[in-house]
């Protein structure tokens, strides 16, 4: 290379470096507030109402984009949305993941128009459901779903998942993620159970917060960070009949005890946006609930960020719920209840109605300024005014090996072993196995909904280089040692007879059952019991007398009570993500010692839904708490023993901190991780107190023979509860603390 070329290359690289280096936006809250104020002062009513309008990508597309047809933006529609309607936000894809390059094209086009061709140059806030990784960018690192991440009981892993998802989502040019789900999963039939971190307030808060920390860091404007969105505020996860988007009846006391604290935690962790409950609580639709959206969320929980509606839910106040007598009244009710942005999302009707309402004085200007101010603030916090375009530098590490390794680690820690008769697991790698069942050879069943498509069920679009469970088993012990017969589909016999016949050549059977993928309402079912065809397959295989290892892949605890006693071992995979096949094979053949614990109660009977923190009367006078497996349960290939549970004092003042220590020892022959779980029981209270409540957990790695002392700190927050007057209180009295089989009591003065 001659010197002139060399120096011009250098200049070019320097130029590129300057061009790519993100410009530092103002960071101080007061500076941002002032900028928001200044900008608001320049905006017309139309521009403000536009900011509050969010449309889906479909609205600005020529070709929607399906598995067979490439998506195409419609330039004229895009210009109309941004220049005529001044939309503040666009969301989603039609239904298929795009390549990272194509995302760059889309976002560049949108931001070019928004920032260069409009009067004030306000960037668009693009939002997406990157719920277990960057769902809608091809090749994204797809982690275990929330229910499985919760089964790791390892918030460091969740933080890492947040970090990586933020990196890959922002690398795609998208700065806003509709995640984490802070609803707690206390209704196992609900088809979105797997999107939650399980049934417990404390565990879900810890996992959600870890995600927020990882995804946002301490500065949203960093090039690899995204804004998170807590959803779906509040009570959505507890429909009485278990169907999606149906009523919950939750008294204010129980709402404050069980459903608000996870959101409160997420707000404290700094999430700047919240999405609203699509259904209703106590007869009031989420989108019309002034008490929840303003009195509690703003005035009590002190949430300062932006509240976005869920999909079409403002319209539904009229079309479905009939609390509004017209679509226009629906807009008024929702905005006045406290919603700042409408996920309209398929037209501009919200814009038209809100403009009319504002001009008529039916929605006051202060409310519009308040909402728009919150939206602009998030855009400024994200540094979008300075850096609205995708940072192509980030594409470099998209789905890199380190990310896949972190994903595999998360998947391994998420696997829950619930039965291991006579230590049949781990299996020797010299065995011949028969693999059968509908979840054995599909990637979709490892991932669940919101994977590449909304329903996650387009198996042919999955990355072929990833391993199904069958492929992972074949890699582990050699193809020649594995026979695969499908047996059944999810609900129909295919060749059960052949599977039974093939057992004769096998030393053991790996029976892979569970659920197909689903998401939201299409996932509704009316019976938790596993499909008959799958239970029949299990029963027939058992009759052969061969040892059977059951692997369940599922988004909710499908009942297997009928076959459970007949299985020699049971591995619950839930939805362990794209590396899940490898992770389960590692567990089955002893390359990984399982340490996942249940984040939910696994029911024994369809109507026996009693959760771990049940009230004393639920296990009294003939009532019985008798799940198949308890919350927190999970086996290991080694044995742990506990001793020396000690409290720093047996009597404390409410202002004191109580230190709890316990020794845990690995008594077995291999190293393993154990989740040390601390439970509190308030022995007497003016409101009946739960049997026990999780108040702390730590995952520790122990080598054979090793002992570690684990310590927890508790304060009055841990001892508090919602009293008869719906206020959080702390009552003096006796408490019991338990770690495994050890207990200690103390007195609160
Ligand atoms: C879901 C939300 C999601 C939104 C945008 C809705 O149907 O309830 O969880 O964020 O769609 O895709």
- pLDDT tops 50 at residue 5: no
Which residues line the pocket of ligand 1, CB cutoff 6 A?
A: 92, 129, 178, 231, 278, 310-311, 520
Alpha carbon distances (Å) from 470 to 436, 461, 500: 9, 18, 18
Instruction: Output the residue whose Cα is nearest ligand 1's atom 11.
Output: 311
Q: Chain-wide mean pLDDT for the chain?
A: 96
57/65 Cα distance (integer angstroms): 10
Pocket test for ligand 1, best of 90, 127, 130, 178 (most atoms within 8 A of CB): 178
Going from the Cα of 520 to the center of ligand 1, the distance in angstroms, rounded, reads 9
Selection from 574, 511, 626, 631 nearest residue 201 by Cα: 631
Q: Which atom of ligand 1 is nearest to the CA of 231?
A: 9
- Residues 654-669 have a mean pLDDT of 97
Instruction: Output the residue whose Cα is nearest ligand 1's atom 8.
Output: 310
652/376 Cα distance (integer angstroms): 47
Instruction: Output the residue whose Cα is nearest ligand 1's atom 2.
Output: 310
Q: Which atom of ligand 1 is nearest to the CA of 454?
A: 12
CB-based contact 511:471 (threshold 8 Å)? no
Q: Which atom of ligand 1 is nearest to the CA of 181?
A: 9
**36: Cβ–Cβ under 8 A, 6 or more apart, which residues?**
373, 376, 377, 380
pLDDT of residue 304: 97
Q: Which residues sit opposite 679 in a β-bridge?
A: 694, 738
Going from the Cα of 550 to the center of ligand 1, the distance in angstroms, rounded, reads 33
pLDDT of residue 12: 36
- Residues 28-40 have a mean pLDDT of 94
Going from the Cα of 92 to the center of ligand 1, the distance in angstroms, rounded, reads 9
- Whether the bond into 455 is cis, omega within 30 of 0: no
Determine what percent of the chain is predicted with pLDDT higher than 70: 97
- pLDDT tops 60 at residue 6: no
Selection from 399, 451, 449 nearest residue 135 by Cα: 451
DSSP E strands in 653-720: the ranges are 658-666, 672-682, 693-702, 707-714
Going from the Cα of 129 to the center of ligand 1, the distance in angstroms, rounded, reads 7
Going from the Cα of 91 to the center of ligand 1, the distance in angstroms, rounded, reads 10
Q: Which atom of ligand 1 is nearest to the CA of 92?
A: 12
- pLDDT tops 90 at residue 64: no
Q: What is the pTM of this model?
A: 0.96
pLDDT digits (tens, 9 = 90+) for 251-306: 999 999 999 999 999 999 999 999 999 999 999 999 999 999 999 999 999 999 99
The DSSP letter of residue 68 is T
- pLDDT tops 50 at residue 418: yes
Q: Which two tokens stand for residue 490?
A: 């999810």
**681: Cβ–Cβ under 8 A, 6 or more apart, which residues?**
689, 690, 691, 692, 693, 735, 736, 737, 738
Going from the Cα of 311 to the center of ligand 1, the distance in angstroms, rounded, reads 6
- pLDDT tops 60 at residue 361: yes
H helix or E strand, kind and range, residue 573: strand 569-574
Question: What is the secondary structure of 139-194 as a DSSP string?
Answer: T---PPPHHHHHHHT-HHHHHHHHHHHHHHHHHTT--EE---B------TTSTTGG
Selection from 287, 284, 199, 274 nearest residue 247 by Cα: 284
Tell which phi-psi region holds residue 726, choosing left (phi > 0), alpha (psi between -120 and 50) or beta: left
Place of tokens 């989420």: 286
- Residues 594-623 have a mean pLDDT of 95
- pLDDT tops 50 at residue 331: yes
- pLDDT tops 60 at residue 8: no
pLDDT of residue 18: 44
Where do runs of H (alpha helix) occur along 428-579?
444-447, 469-477, 496-502, 532-543
pLDDT of residue 13: 36
- pLDDT tops 90 at residue 2: no
- pLDDT tops 70 at residue 81: yes
Please list the active-site residues.
310
pLDDT-wise least confident of 151-165, 422-436, 612-626: 612-626
- pLDDT tops 60 at residue 451: yes
Q: Which residue pairs from 383-386 have beta carbons closer than 8 angstroms and sit at least 24 positions apart in sequence?
A: 383/22, 383/23, 383/24, 383/25, 383/220, 383/221, 383/222, 384/123, 384/125, 384/175, 385/25, 385/121, 385/122, 385/123, 386/22, 386/23, 386/24, 386/25, 386/221
Going from the Cα of 447 to the center of ligand 1, the distance in angstroms, rounded, reads 18
Give 21's pLDDT tier (boundaries 50, 70, 90).
low
167/207 Cα distance (integer angstroms): 19
Going from the Cα of 368 to the center of ligand 1, the distance in angstroms, rounded, reads 24
- pLDDT tops 70 at residue 698: yes
- pLDDT tops 90 at residue 497: yes
Instruction: Output the residue whose Cα is nearest ligand 1's atom 10.
Output: 178
- Residues 175-179 have a mean pLDDT of 98
Pocket test for ligand 1, best of 90, 129, 234, 287 (most atoms within 8 A of CB): 129
3-state SS of 514-547 is ECCCCCCHHHCCCCCECCHHHHHHHHHHHHCCCC
């Amino acid at each position: 290379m001659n010197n002139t070329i060399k120096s011009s290359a250098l200049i070019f690289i320097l130029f590129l470096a300057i061009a790519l280096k993100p410009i530092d936006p103002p960071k101080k809250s007061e500076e941002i507030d002032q900028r928001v104020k200044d900008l608001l002062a320049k905006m017309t009513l139309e521009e403000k109402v536009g900011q509050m309008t969010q449309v889906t990508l479909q609205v600005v597309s020529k070709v929607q984009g399906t598995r067979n047809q490439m998506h195409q933006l419609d330039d004229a529609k895009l210009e109309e949305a941004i220049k005529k309607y001044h939309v503040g936000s666009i969301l989603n894809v039609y239904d298929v993941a795009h390549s990272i390059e194509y995302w760059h094209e889309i976002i560049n086009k949108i931001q070019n128009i928004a920032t260069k061709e409009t009067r004030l140059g306000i960037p668009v806030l693009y939002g997406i459901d990157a719920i277990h990784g960057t769902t809608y960018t091809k090749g994204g690192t797809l982690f275990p779903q929330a229910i499985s991440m919760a089964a790791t009981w390892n918030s460091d892993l969740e933080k890492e998942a947040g970090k990586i998802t933020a990196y890959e989502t922002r690398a795609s040019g998208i700065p806003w993620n509709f995640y984490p789900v802070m609803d707690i999963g206390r209704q196992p039939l609900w088809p979105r159970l797997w999107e939650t971190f399980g049934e417990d307030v404390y565990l879900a808060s810890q996992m959600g917060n870890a995600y927020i920390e990882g995804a946002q860091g301490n500065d949203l404007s960093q090039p690899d960070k995204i804004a998170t969105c807590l959803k779906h505020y509040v009570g959505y996860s507890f429909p009485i009949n278990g169907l999606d988007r149906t009523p919950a009846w939750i008294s204010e006391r129980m709402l404050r005890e069980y459903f608000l604290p996870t959101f409160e935690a997420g707000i404290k962790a700094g999430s700047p946006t919240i999405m609203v409950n699509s259904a209703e609580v106590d007869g009031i639709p989420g989108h019309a609930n002034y008490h929840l959206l303003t009195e509690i969320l703003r005035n009590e929980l002190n949430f300062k960020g932006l509240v976005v509606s869920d999909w079409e839910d403002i319209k539904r106040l009229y079309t479905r719920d009939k609390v509004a007598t017209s679509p226009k009244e629906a807009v008024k009710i929702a905005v006045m209840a406290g919603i700042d942005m409408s996920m309209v999302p398929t037209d501009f009707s919200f814009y038209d109605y809100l403009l009319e309402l504002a001009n008529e004085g039916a929605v006051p200007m202060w409310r519009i300024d308040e909402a728009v101010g919150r939206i602009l603030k998030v855009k400024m916090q994200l540094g979008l005014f300075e850096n609205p375009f995708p940072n192509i530098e980030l594409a470099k590490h998209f789905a890199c090996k380190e990310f896949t390794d972190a994903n595999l680690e998360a998947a391994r820690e998420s696997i829950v072993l619930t039965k291991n008769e006579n230590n049949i697991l781990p299996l020797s790698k010299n065995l011949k196995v028969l693999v059968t069942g509908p979840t054995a050879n599909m990637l979709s069943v490892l991932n669940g909904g919101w994977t590449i498509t909304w329903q996650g069920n387009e198996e042919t679009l999955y990355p072929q280089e990833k391993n199904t469970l069958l492929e992972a088993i074949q890699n582990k012990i050699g193809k020649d040692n594995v026979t695969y017969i499908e047996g059944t589909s999810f609900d129909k016999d295919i060749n059960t007879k052949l599977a039974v016949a093939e057992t004769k050549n096998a030393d053991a059977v790996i029976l892979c059952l569970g659920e197909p993928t689903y998401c939201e309402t299409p996932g509704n079912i009316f019976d938790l019991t596993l499909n008959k065809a799958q239970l029949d397959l299990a029963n027939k295989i058992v009759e052969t007398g061969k040892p059977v290892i059951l692997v369940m892949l599922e988004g909710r605890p499908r009942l297997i009570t009928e076959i459970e006693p007949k299985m020699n071992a049971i591995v619950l995979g839930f939805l362990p993500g794209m590396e899940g096949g490898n992770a389960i094979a590692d567990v089955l053949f002893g390359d990984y010692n399982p340490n996942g614990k249940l984040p939910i109660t696994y029911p024994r009977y369809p109507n026996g839904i009693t959760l771990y923190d049940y009230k004393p009367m639920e296990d009294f006078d003939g009532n019985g708490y008798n799940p198949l497996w308890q919350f927190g349960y999970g086996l290991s290939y080694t044995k742990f023993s506990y001793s020396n549970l000690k409290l720093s004092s047996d009597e404390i003042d409410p202002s004191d901190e109580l230190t709890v220590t316990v020794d845990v020892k690995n008594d077995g022959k291999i190293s393993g991780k154990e989740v040390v779980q601390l439970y509190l029981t308030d022995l007497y209270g003016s409101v009946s107190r739960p049997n026990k409540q999780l108040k702390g957990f730590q995952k520790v790695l122990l080598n054979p023979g090793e002992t570690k002392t684990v310590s927890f700190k508790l304060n009055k927050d841990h001892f508090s509860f919602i009293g008869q007057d719906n206020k959080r209180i702390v009552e003096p009295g006796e408490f019991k603390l338990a770690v495994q089989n050890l207990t200690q009591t103390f007195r609160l003065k």
